[in-house]
């Protein structure tokens, strides 16, 4: 049964590190209603019971299409893996359900294709590589600073179970920075890597370094260098709760626009 005035949400990847946090958030939020939970790792159990929230009447399923059909969802919130998110989005679009996507590692061509479909259907969708407000500010400050200090390196640090590198946040940061500075060569033009990868990944002349260690959640430093000085802008997510206000806001705001928005900063400006 759906409750009037609430956005009806299906969480995809609902038994993952992020998905479980999202389920807790949706269940608590008076503007949202949990109507489905999809994950391949758990079968037909009450999602609330599995998460220690008490009975919710919503049962885990591994079939997204079937869940969307039964639940009459407004929105899916997807935190799965880079190799399955694409199929999930196409399934949600097929059923006319708005995607709110936190899963990273999505190529730009997919974003453009989804935007066209969302425009045709007259509904909204959001892909946000990072939902933490502090991370959004870190990216914006870094882009602003790069206008004056264009030599930039990005170091991102994550838990060692992360599948994609560099992180979606690091790529988004680099994309925002290159809008503010010219393509340029950084470091010595004749520099040589004595061990492959020593200088990190290259994004239009900017280097990105990925650290994976137990103990980390999600962290990033953007280091900008100038003559006789460096500026370091750092953000730390010390728990996955940091992402939740952004996720809840996105699930509501996605009801209000048409087409694909890429980046949470575009919903809060």
Catalytic residue numbers, as ranges? 158, 162
Q: Which is nearer to ligand LZUJQKHR, 6 or 159 (CB)?
A: 159
DSSP string for 103-145: -----HHHHHHHHHHHHHHT-EEEE-S---HHHHHHHHHHHHH
Q: Please give the backbone phi and psi of residue 177, each rounded to the nearest 5 degrees, phi first.
A: -70, -40
* Chosen from ligand NAI, ligand LZUJQKHR, none, partner binding at 158 (C-beta under 5 to 8 Å by type): ligand LZUJQKHR
Q: Residue 103, interface with ligand NAI (CB under 6 A)?
A: yes
Nearest to 48, CA basis, from 12, 15, 8: 15
Q: Residue 203, interface with ligand NAI (CB under 6 A)?
A: no
User: How many of the chain's residues bind ligand NAI (CB under 6 A)?
Assistant: 25
Q: Residue 231, interface with ligand NAI (CB under 6 A)?
A: no
Is there a binding annotation on residue 128?
A: yes
Q: Which is nearer to ligand NAI, 203 or 243 (CB)?
A: 243
Asked whether the CA dihedral 95, 99, 102, 108 is positive or negative, the reply is positive
Token readout for 255 is 């009801």
* Chosen from ligand LZUJQKHR, ligand NAI, none, partner binding at 210 (C-beta under 5 to 8 Å by type): none
Nearest to 223, CA basis, from 154, 139, 157: 154
Contact footprint for ligand NAI (CB under 6 A): 12-13, 15-19, 38-41, 79-82, 84, 102-104, 128-131, 168, 243
């Amino acid at each position: 049964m759906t409750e009037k005035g609430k956005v009806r949400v299906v969480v995809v990847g609902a038994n993952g590190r992020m998905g479980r946090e999202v389920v807790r958030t949706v269940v608590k939020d008076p503007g949202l209603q949990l109507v489905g939970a999809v994950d391949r790792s758990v079968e037909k159990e009450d999602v609330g019971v599995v998460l220690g929230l008490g009975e919710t009447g919503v049962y885990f399923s591994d079939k997204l299409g079937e869940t969307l059909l039964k639940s009459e969802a407004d929105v899916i919130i997807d935190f799965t893996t880079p190799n399955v998110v694409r199929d999930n989005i196409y399934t949600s679009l097929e059923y006319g359900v708005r995607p709110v996507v936190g899963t990273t590692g999505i190529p730009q061509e997919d974003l453009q294709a989804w935007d066209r479909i969302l425009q045709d259907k007259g509904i909204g969708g959001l892909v946000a590589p990072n939902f933490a407000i502090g991370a959004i500010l870190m990216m914006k400050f870094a882009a602003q600073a790069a206008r004056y200090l264009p030599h930039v390196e990005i170091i991102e640090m994550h838990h060692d179970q992360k599948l994609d590198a560099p992180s979606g946040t690091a790529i988004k940061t680099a994309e925002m920075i290159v809008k503010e500075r010219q393509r340029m060569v950084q470091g010595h033009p004749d520099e040589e890597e004595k061990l492959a990868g020593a200088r990190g990944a290259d994004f239009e002349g900017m280097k990105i370094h990925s650290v994976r260690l137990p103990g980390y959640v999600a962290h990033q430093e953007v280091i900008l260098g100038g003559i006789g000085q460096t500026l370091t802008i750092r953000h730390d997510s010390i728990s996955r709760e940091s992402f939740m206000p952004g996720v809840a806001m996105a699930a509501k705001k996605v009801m209000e626009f048409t087409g694909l928005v890429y980046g949470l900063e575009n919903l809060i400006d």
